[in-house]
Amino acid sequence: MTSICLYFQIHQPIRLKNYTFFQIGYDHQYDDVQLNYQILNKVADRCYLPVNALLLEMIKKHKGKFKVAFSISGVALEQFVQYRPEVITSIRRLVDTGCVEILSETYYHSLASVYSPEEFTKQVKKHRDTIKYLFDIEPTTFRNTELIYSDAVAQQVADMGYYDTILAEGAPQLIENDDASFVFKAGETDLHLLLRHYKLSDDIAFRFPDQSWEHYPLTPEKFAKWVHTLDGKADTINLFMDYETFGEHKGAETGILEFLRNMPEAVLDNENFSFLTPAETVKAYKAKQQLDVPSEITWADAERDLSGWNHNHMQKDALKKLYGLEALVKESKSREFADIFGRLQTSDHLYYMSTKYWNDGVRQTFSPYKSPYDAYIIYMNALSDFEQLVKSTL
């Protein structure tokens, strides 16, 4: 028996306004409230609400045989509560079916697991408390920001004592693609490790509307046929992707929603296949082997490492200044400052500064800035003001 583990990441950053040098010392509001409101509402209308409704329809249609998992950043949940509470209600309806698992992650979608173990633990606890409050769930599966994973990250998560499962990218430098389709032991910990099948995941998340792709158009039947070739060769095929793939990154006009609607039925036509959540998956199969990952891997870019956030001088400078403020924020004992510090850690701020692939439009698609240099200047101005603000209270 082979199972499909379908997991969606939901994240919307709180973007910064055009904060100039001349505002330092006077304006302590950094967020672009109007832009965040507009984007959240647009994506809610194009993706979150219609696709949540579609998933609920599919779960009912398949009478419990179709299952999914979600990880939702704390900053996205904040915006749902503030701007579109009906998104929270629709997620609760999904959870109530018993066919949806909610995962843990860092509240602020940060890089803290790499740069500050103490901050990492705080943010995971904050996210965990939020999930408990909103959905009455205590997650047992952890998904780090951008699937950042290493032996050190696994140990930090294991030491928290909340989790028995962690997700990671089935990076080609780590393991062959189809060889990722098993449960693994996460290094020296007692955690189970599930690896993303990046080829099949990216066939949906990236290649689906590409008319130059040799397999275009991708139909549910064609995709199911690829999946079914792994019958007897895999335990779990882990399809991990951004939820915004459906309706936002790929508009409904591409046929992506109809693909999602019909894909489970095509897969389930083979009685040797089922859908399981991550928590169910690790109970269904024994770990194939221990997997050691000494260096960080992620699901970002072709390199699948941390270079999307720390490869150039701007990013390194910003990270040094950012985490250099941690001791000051801690000394202030201010919850407000701790929250601002957390928001400034959101990985998107560093990603916008990346000069990798900027000219081919990859970064430009998601960045609210004209260039990586604008992103850096605006961010550093905000950091400078925040540093002055915190110091003024000590």
- CATH number for 197: 3.20.110.20
- Does the pLDDT value for residue 359 go beyond 70? no
Q: Residue 314 belongs to what domain range? A: 307-392
Confidence of residue 365 (pLDDT cuts 50, 70, 90): low
Q: What is the pLDDT of residue 52?
A: 98
**Structural element, H or E, at residue 4:** strand 2-10
- Does the pLDDT value for residue 364 go beyond 70? no
Whether 203 and 248 share a structural domain? yes
Q: Is the residue at 299 inside a domain?
A: no
- Does the pLDDT value for residue 394 go beyond 70? yes
- Does the pLDDT value for residue 360 go beyond 60? no
Positions marked active-site? 146
Q: Is the residue at 296 inside a domain?
A: no
Confidence of residue 177 (pLDDT cuts 50, 70, 90): low
Which residue type is seen at 36?
Answer: N
Whether 260 and 334 share a structural domain? no
- Does the pLDDT value for residue 172 go beyond 90? no
- Does the pLDDT value for residue 178 go beyond 70? no
Burial letters for 273-299: b for 16+ Cβ neighbours within 10 Å, e otherwise? bbbbbbbbbbeebebeeebebeebbbb
Going by C-alpha positions, the residue among 169, 146, 144 that lies closest to residue 155 is 144
**Distance of CA 36 to CAs 41, 177, 377, Å?**
8, 37, 20
Least confident of 92-101, 119-128, 295-304, 336-345: 295-304
Number of structural domains in the chain: 2
Whether 91 and 235 share a structural domain? yes
Q: Is the residue at 73 inside a domain?
A: yes
Mean of all residue pLDDT scores within the chain: 95
Q: What is the pLDDT of residue 356?
A: 83
Q: What is the pLDDT of residue 301?
A: 82
Whether 322 and 223 share a structural domain? no
What is the percent of the chain with per-residue pLDDT over 90, rounded to a whole number?
92
Whether 218 and 144 share a structural domain? yes
- Does the pLDDT value for residue 83 go beyond 80? yes
Q: What is the pLDDT of residue 128?
A: 98
CB 104 within 8 A of CB 77: no
- Does the pLDDT value for residue 264 go beyond 90? yes
- Report, as an integer, the average pLDDT of 302-308: 91
**Distance of CA 278 to CAs 56, 65, 100, 142, 195, Å?**
19, 14, 10, 10, 11
Whether 254 and 320 share a structural domain? no
Whether 213 and 70 share a structural domain? yes
Domain boundary among 291, 325, 347: 291
Read off the pLDDT of residues 224-261 as tens digits, 9 standing for 90 and up.
Answer: 999 999 999 999 999 999 999 999 999 999 999 999 99
**167/278 Cα distance (integer angstroms):** 9
131 Cβ neighbours under 8 A, 6+ residues apart = 72, 102, 104, 137, 138, 139
Residue 322 CA to chain centroid, in angstroms?
Answer: 22
CB 169 within 8 A of CB 299: yes
394 Cβ neighbours under 8 A, 6+ residues apart = 328, 331, 332
Q: What is the pLDDT of residue 358?
A: 59
Whether 277 and 314 share a structural domain? no
Q: Is the residue at 52 inside a domain?
A: yes
Q: What is the pLDDT of residue 246?
A: 96
Q: Is the residue at 298 inside a domain?
A: no
What single string gives the DSSP state of each residue in 72-104? E-HHHHHHHHHH-HHHHHHHHHHHHTT-EEE-B
Q: Is the residue at 297 inside a domain?
A: no
Domain boundary among 267, 291, 315: 291
**Considering the entire predicted model, what is its pTM?**
0.95
Domain boundary among 256, 291, 326: 291
- Report, as an integer, the average pLDDT of 60-89: 97
Whether 247 and 200 share a structural domain? yes
**46/244 Cα distance (integer angstroms):** 9
Whether 250 and 355 share a structural domain? no
Q: Is the residue at 32 inside a domain?
A: yes
Q: What is the pLDDT of residue 174?
A: 83
Q: Is the residue at 300 inside a domain?
A: no
**Structural element, H or E, at residue 121:** helix 117-135
Whether 202 and 327 share a structural domain? no
Whether 178 and 105 share a structural domain? yes
